[in-house]
Structure 1
């Protein structure tokens, strides 16, 4: 038996293509949720109300400290016992987004805390509203420096998408496994899936670095 057979590579490509589409969609949608929700978490944690900020901190810590897979199982399998039925795709994307939102919120918070306190005093002196202060003064200074760290979580989420197979979402690695089960040849499909994960991670890393440089130049932070 050949160790590597190119004919199985071509046969596996349709499986990998279908799985790659699901993997990319899950990553982009989940990370969009993580970016938006994570920013909301971070801003709430800056609330002057101690109970609100402490409560948000506890929620974030709970999400960060529990495994992604257990959260996924709880939402998808335990939810129906309480009358909550969520389609697998929505459950998978939602859990991915919320899980990584907790990590992204800590990155955002680090950027927000790094903004000089004098900026807040200037906003108060200029009588700027809270919304305008965040939108035009604080966030443009806080976000650009933390883009590389956020990019790391984008790549991390991409590599975590195989957990979605646990609730019957056939992403790329599961499709490679399915091909191997049907053809009794795993090496070609699994290797190609690994190569795709590597290529996507490298491309994403370059894009994140480019975005970081562009933001820093735009807001004159370099």
Structure 2
């Protein structure tokens, strides 16, 4: 029951709306802290101090610790450029997410293309980051080395599932089964496909011919009586 409900939420048009909602939350979670750290320098200083204290508390391998320190020093020197890149990427993905929601509401599959491209880049980047952190987690703690790959795999799998549903709906032109059936039957209900004598089946032609002859005989009988 729970599995079927989850699959129904992640698939179809409802899956597109859920994908858009999750993407919006994710973009805002990245965009707002980065903007705050760019505007107020104490925000970045607080984050840097927390990372330094965390490195001091965890005793890693000497070579790995020195490499991480050098990497953090480089990031600290160019943090504004890195934050500007993150803000630009988050804003671009936020715009593509809004187009995704708009295309889902208006049945415009061309509006899904920006989100499919940007999210594919994010998935590849997440795979690279998760692989790197999985390797580094072996130097931190054994428990983290076991738990982190599992959580990272679940997040990646769920995100790939949402991307696959969006790509599937794009290939189907955003038309669900019920809507496709209704679109096919609606012209018939409205009478747009009224039959023409040349297109009638033999049985229908014979029935129509008999009906005409009956009406003609009835008209002749009425004239004779009058």
Q: Same fold (TM over 0.5)?
A: no
Larger radius of gyration: 2
Q: TM-score, normalised by structure 1?
A: 0.30
Higher RCO structure (Cα 8 Å, ≥6 apart)? 1
